[in-house]
């Protein structure tokens, strides 16, 4: 378990997918209301894996689909599922389509990005001899679209096929229609943000969000509250809030070495972390000296341009927001420092676009755009989410992050949805990025 130091936090990674999970699934309900109609989901917007979770007289479970595109899409009808052996040959298994279960629906299932749907399956009585070569795969063809082929992985104690109950009877794969895969629905109150489909459930995080500037400071929430390396966290577009052992909210230093030390975000070439500069920073317990360090290294002008880095820093948290009922205005600069941390680079032009100037901080990157004479922070927590899920991950960041221990860890087909828990201990990503 790793705690956040004065200059450090933690980063993340993962993948998300269609998951073909063979286990008994319950608790499905109607699709969430208020979601706009969308184009049909395509095979290209879905990925998969297929762990077998249990077997008795048959293999029973669900194919669980995740929309891994950035746009909403719909699923409807019953997919065609074929079972393939190791050579790609189709096994002698016929498909029977099932009606929806009690309370089920045959209507379109609308999925936000990273939202899930399921198809019930039941495979029994496989009597082919000799047994075709394994491993086996499932080829899932969407109605009117392409197909996905995914390996069927069986634990050592689970046979890869159901037992032969009657040699004279056919082997049947029963497949149900698409159904919503539901979790506890979010309460659609003032804490819920329809722009992203997430709610700020935790009272401490909600109070911190409001007292530090709300959406302009944090962006919209882009995750649920979940366990990450032993701490409860919630991702926002710009920042990541962590609950400390004392229950107080704090921010992760997402750009420190060992966390997200990357220098290219969607082809925005940002300055690298400058260890020499950071070594000259005062002790973080000396607030006055630290603020003076920020002012010295976050100039308002650079190469004749009004970059306004210090003004942007010092005006991050308005006094009326931090103290709606009045308070000590001398504390507000400390809140600004809390949001950004210290500068960890000098101001630098984007080598590919001299209209852009960047300044790297511990908890964000300021971006000056000469075309609008405006300065704002990059949506870095969204990029961390992309590293975790593999969704909407720019090619340049994908290359830089590919060797990170957090890369594409998000996997709904494994326990706690963590692909390799040895690299991401004390973490439970279950439904972390599933909108509600």
User: Residue 31 is encoded by which pair of tokens?
Assistant: 């699709």
Residue 413's pLDDT is what?
74
**Contact status, residue 162 vs residue 123, Cβ threshold 8 Å:** yes
Kindly list the domain boundaries of the chain, sorted by start residue: 28-180, 192-406
Kindly report the length of the chain.
436
Phi, psi angles (nearest 5°) of residue 414: -130, 165
Angstrom distances, CA of residue 129 to CA of 10, 92, 328, 401: 53, 11, 81, 47
CB atoms within 10 A of CB 331: 13
Q: Measure CA 42 to chain center.
A: 20
CA–CA separation, 142 and 349 (whole Å)? 47
- In this prediction the pTM is 0.78
**Contact status, residue 173 vs residue 121, Cβ threshold 8 Å:** yes
> Which residue in the block uniquely carries the two structure tokens 């030390």?
261
User: Residue 108 is encoded by which pair of tokens?
Assistant: 């379109």
CATH class, domain 28-180, is mainly beta
CA–CA separation, 414 and 19 (whole Å)? 9
Q: Which residues contact 171 (CB under 8 A, 6 or more apart)?
A: 91, 92, 93, 94, 123, 124, 125, 126, 127, 128, 162
- The b/e string for 154-181 (b: 16+ C-beta within 10 A; e otherwise) is beeeeebbbeeeeeeeebbbbbbbbbbb
Residue 411's pLDDT is what?
86
Residue 105's pLDDT is what?
61
**Contact status, residue 227 vs residue 353, Cβ threshold 8 Å:** no
Residue 54's pLDDT is what?
64
Strands 18-21 and 48-51: parallel
CA–CA separation, 153 and 49 (whole Å)? 8
Residue 14's pLDDT is what?
33
Per-residue pLDDT of the chain (436 residues; tens, 9 = 90+): 334 443 333 333 333 333 343 333 333 333 333 344 579 999 999 877 777 666 677 888 788 888 888 888 999 999 999 999 999 999 999 999 998 876 666 678 998 888 888 888 889 999 999 999 988 899 999 999 999 998 877 777 777 888 899 999 999 999 999 988 877 778 899 999 999 999 999 999 999 999 999 999 999 999 999 999 899 999 999 999 999 999 999 999 999 777 899 999 999 999 999 999 999 999 999 999 999 999 999 999 999 999 999 999 999 999 999 999 999 999 999 999 999 999 999 999 999 999 999 999 999 999 999 999 999 999 999 999 999 999 999 999 999 999 998 899 998 878 899 999 999 999 999 999 998 7
Q: Which residues contact 337 (CB under 8 A, 6 or more apart)?
A: 287, 290, 291, 294
Residue 183's pLDDT is what?
76
Burial of 369 (0-12, 13-18, 19+ CB in 10 A): middle
Give the CA count within 13 Å in the CB-facing half-sphere of 63.
Answer: 32
Nearest partner of 16 among 388, 383, 381, judged by Cα: 388
**Contact status, residue 372 vs residue 298, Cβ threshold 8 Å:** no
**Contact status, residue 78 vs residue 176, Cβ threshold 8 Å:** yes
- Please report the beta strands in 98-197, taking only residues with DSSP state E, as ranges in sequence order: 109-111, 116-124, 137-141, 147-153, 171-175, 179-180, 192-193
């Amino acid at each position: 378990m790793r705690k956040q130091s004065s200059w450090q936090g933690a980063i993340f990674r993962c993948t998300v997918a269609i998951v073909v999970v063979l286990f008994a699934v319950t608790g499905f309900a109607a699709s969430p209301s208020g979601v706009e109609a969308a184009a049909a989901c395509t095979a290209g917007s879905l990925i998969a894996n297929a762990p077998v979770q249990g077997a008795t007289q048959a293999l029973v479970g669900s194919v669980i689909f995740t929309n891994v595109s950035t746009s909403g899409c719909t699923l409807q009808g019953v997919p065609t599922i074929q079972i393939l052996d190791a050579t790609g040959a189709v096994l002698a298994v016929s498909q029977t389509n099932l009606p929806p279960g009690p309370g089920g629906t045959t209507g379109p299932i609308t999925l936000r990005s990273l939202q899930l749907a399921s198809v019930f399956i039941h495979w029994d009585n496989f009597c082919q001899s000799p047994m075709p070569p394994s491993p086996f795969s499932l080829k899932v063809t969407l109605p009117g679209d392409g197909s996905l082929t995914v390996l069927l992985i069986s634990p050592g104690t689970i046979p890869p096929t159901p037992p032969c109950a009657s040699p004279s009877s056919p082997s049947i794969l029963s497949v149900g229609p698409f159904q919503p895969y539901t979790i506890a629905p979010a309460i659609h109150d003032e804490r819920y943000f329809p722009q992203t489909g997430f709610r700020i459930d935790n009272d401490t995080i909600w109070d911190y969000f409001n007292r530090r500037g709300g959406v302009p400071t944090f962006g919209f929430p882009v995750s649920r509250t979940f366990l990450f390396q032993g701490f409860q966290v919630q991702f926002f577009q710009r920042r990541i809030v962590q609950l400390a052992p004392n229950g107080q909210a704090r921010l992760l230093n997402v750009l420190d070495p060992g966390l997200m030390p990357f220098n290219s975000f969607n082809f925005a070439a940002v300055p690298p972390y400058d260890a020499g500069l950071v070594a000259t920073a005062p002790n973080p317990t000396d607030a006055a000296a630290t603020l003076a360090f920020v002012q010295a290294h976050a100039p308002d002008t650079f190469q004749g341009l009004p970059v306004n880095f210090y003004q942007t820093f010092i005006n991050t948290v308005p006094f009326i927001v931090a103290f709606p009922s009045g308070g000590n205005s001398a504390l507000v600069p400390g809140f600004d420092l809390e949001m950004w941390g210290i500068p960890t680079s000098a101001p630098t032009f984007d080598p590919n676009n001299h209209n852009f100037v960047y300044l790297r901080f511990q908890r964000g990157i300021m971006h000056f755009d000469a075309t609008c004479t405006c300065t704002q922070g990059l949506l870095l927590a969204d990029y961390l989410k992309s590293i975790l899920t593999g969704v909407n991950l720019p090619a340049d960041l994908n290359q830089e992050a590919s060797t990170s221990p957090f890369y594409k860890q998000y996997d709904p087909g494994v326990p706690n949805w963590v692909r390799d828990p040895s690299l991401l201990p004390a973490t439970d990503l279950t439904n972390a990025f599933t909108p509600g």
